[in-house]
Amino acid sequence: MFNLPISDIHLAAAASDKKNAIEQVAKSLENAGYAKSGYAQGMLNRETQAPTFLGNGIAIPHGTVETRDQVLKTGFAVFQFPDGIDWGDNQTAYIVIGIAAQSNEHLELLRQLTHIISDEHTADAIAKADTAETLKQLLMGERQTQPVKFDESMVTVSAQVDNINTLKIQNIINLQNAEAISTDFISRVLTQTPSYLGQGIWLSDSPIGNIENAIAISTVKKPFSFQGNPVSILITLSYANYQIETLLLKINNLLKNKEANLILENDNVNKLIDLLRPDDSHTESDSLNTNISGITQDFTILNPHGLHTRPSTQLVTAIKQFESTITVSNLDGTSTPVNGRSLMKIVSLGAKCGHRLRIHAEGVDAQEAINTIGEAINSGLGEKVA
């Protein structure tokens, strides 16, 4: 875990543009004794090579390999820009984290940062933090994520109803009793039509009013019809951060394998919870690899400095050319597959020179995607290979 002194956090900053914001960050790194004055130009040069915007309103400007000699010791400068900074390509940065790193240790630092800020809930909290102490706690992961609320009190089985609004209300009551949602959530769910997932399963959620991760489920005694599709179960999600994704992966796999009946025919509350519980023994990696199809191939990272932001950007650009669903995992890291279209997720792999990346592509152009991505990796992703 890296150290982040309160003095390195700057709240409510303002800048005229991206260049000015980077110059402020570089000056802070210099004043803190992390870098020499020449490091500022390296940070600006880096932006011309590959933008350092990660997503979720967060940018991580840092110097080039050529200006690494300007780093005195590893350190950070965290700037909060409440009004936002235009980072190009219609992207706005509210948090700018300047990084001065002496060696490849920056990959581990980037990996740690991206794991902390990879969900919108945490990123939004960082952008709105009103004290340096709060922002530090969020960045350092000191504010622990609460477990997903999903127990017997959140499940209603075999409800004798024939109206989907009644199921909505039942789930809302359970979520409200768990103090997981606000009135904004309730208003949105009540007025919006749930999404039909298939095989009698419907899903309702809201982009606002999510206080805690929680899942409410209601099944019906006798299926009925809504908008021409059967209704057997309504799942309502309060989505505070990424933890809920495991549930969605499980449901997706059940539908893909035409096994929705495992949910629909189960009137035992505890067994139903065990089947869908996000924090059970089935990890995200397990879910992603269950009955895996498509094409998988392993490649070795040849970049001397690993997958920092520039080669990561090149990899994401190569992946986005294709329609196929593409995941990437670091076999010498956590091995958990991540979305290949997300720069933040790719950086979070912390892949160093010599690490093996596993690329999995599934779709109409999977083979072409594997070939193109492999060529890009083997050619150095825009950099000289080791």
Provide the token pair at 145. 């994520």
Is 305 a catalytic site residue? no
Residues 347 and 273: their CA atoms lie apart, in Å, by: 34
The alpha carbon of 101 is separated from its chain's Cα centroid by a whole number of angstroms, namely: 24
Judge contact between 22 and 29, C-beta under 8 A. no
Nearest-Å Rg of the Cα atoms of the chain is 23
The 3-state secondary structure of 280-341 reads CCCCHHHHHHCCCCCEEEEEECCCCCCCCHHHHHHHHHHHCCCCCEEEEEECCCCCCCEECC
Is 62 a catalytic site residue? yes
Q: What 8-state DSSP symbol labels residue 149?
A: B
Q: What is the dihedral of CA 104, 109, 110, 112, to 10 degrees?
A: 140
The DSSP bridge pattern shows strands 155-159 and 214-226 to be parallel
Q: Of 121, 308, 355, 360, which one is the catalytic site residue?
A: 308
Max CA distance (Å), the chain: 72
The alpha carbon of 334 is separated from its chain's Cα centroid by a whole number of angstroms, namely: 15
**What residues contact 204, with CB distance under 8 A and at least 6 apart?**
168, 171, 189, 192, 194, 195, 234, 235, 236, 237
Judge contact between 85 and 18, C-beta under 8 A. yes
Q: Of 62, 106, 355, 360, which one is the catalytic site residue?
A: 62
**What residues contact 348, with CB distance under 8 A and at least 6 apart?**
110, 111, 114, 115, 118, 338
DSSP-assigned letters across all residues of 81-145: EEEEEE-STT-EEEEEEEEE-SSTHHHHHHHHHHHHH-SHHHHHHHHH--SHHHHHHHHTT-SPP
Please identify every residue annotated as catalytic.
62, 308
